[in-house]
Amino acid sequence: MRDQRLIELRPEIPTIHISSQISEGELFQNQTLRPILKFQNEIILDLFKAYIHKRKNTFHTLDEKQRLDYIDQHMKKDKELAAEFCGMVLGLCTKEEFITYRLFKSEINKRIRTLIIQRLQSQVSALANQ
């Protein structure tokens, strides 16, 4: 029951094409992670805005390239922040997806972090308008 409801919540992403030639990790990324991240987009932005605020808003004094670097560096170096984002994703995984996560934890965490960096960087103007 829970798993079905979670899957129903996820938006469809028509640009994702699944082929037989992609790795298991990429398949998990496209079928599970991307829809969850799209669903969680507003919360992802809010969490990073709170992070910026907690860091004395130095983000707002930077130019666009520096902001992109800021996102990249803080997502890679701040383990607590990365863990919050991973938890945000894992909480919306089905039981089967969570089992897959446990098997490939390191790879999937890296994929989550990379996807969130890309998502934040592509919406840097929304982060700057605080």
Residue 17 located in a structural domain: no
Residue 47 has pLDDT above 90, yes or no: yes
Residue 34 located in a structural domain: yes
Residue 39 has pLDDT above 80, yes or no: yes
Residue 4 located in a structural domain: no
C-alpha span between 76 and 82 (Å, rounded): 7
Pair 53, 130: CB distance under 8 Å = yes
Residues near 53 by beta carbon (within 8 Å), at least 6 away in sequence: 130
User: What is each CA distance from 68 to 9, 12, 117, in whole angstroms?
Assistant: 30, 27, 9
Domain count, the chain: 1
Residue 11 located in a structural domain: no
pLDDT band at 46 (very low <50, low <70, confident <90, very high): very high
Residue 104 pLDDT: 94
Pair 33, 86: CB distance under 8 Å = no
Residue 130 has pLDDT above 60, yes or no: no
Joined together, the tokens standing for residue 67 give: 């902001």
Residue 3 has pLDDT above 70, yes or no: yes
**Looking at residues 27-55, what average pLDDT do you find?**
94
State the amino acid at position 70 in one-letter form. Answer: Y
Closest by alpha carbon to 85, among 124, 129, 118?
118
**Looking at residues 36-63, what average pLDDT do you find?**
94
Q: Which domain holds residue 105?
A: 26-128
pLDDT tens digits along 11-20: 988 876 666 7
Joined together, the tokens standing for residue 118 give: 């890309």
Residue 120 located in a structural domain: yes
pLDDT tens digits along 53-89: 998 888 989 999 999 999 999 999 999 999 999 999 9
State the amino acid at position 38 in one-letter form. Answer: K
Residue 10 located in a structural domain: no
pLDDT tens digits along 87-125: 999 999 999 999 999 999 999 999 999 999 999 999 998
Residue 8 located in a structural domain: no
Residue 49 located in a structural domain: yes
Residue 50 pLDDT: 94
**Looking at residues 47-54, what average pLDDT do you find?**
94
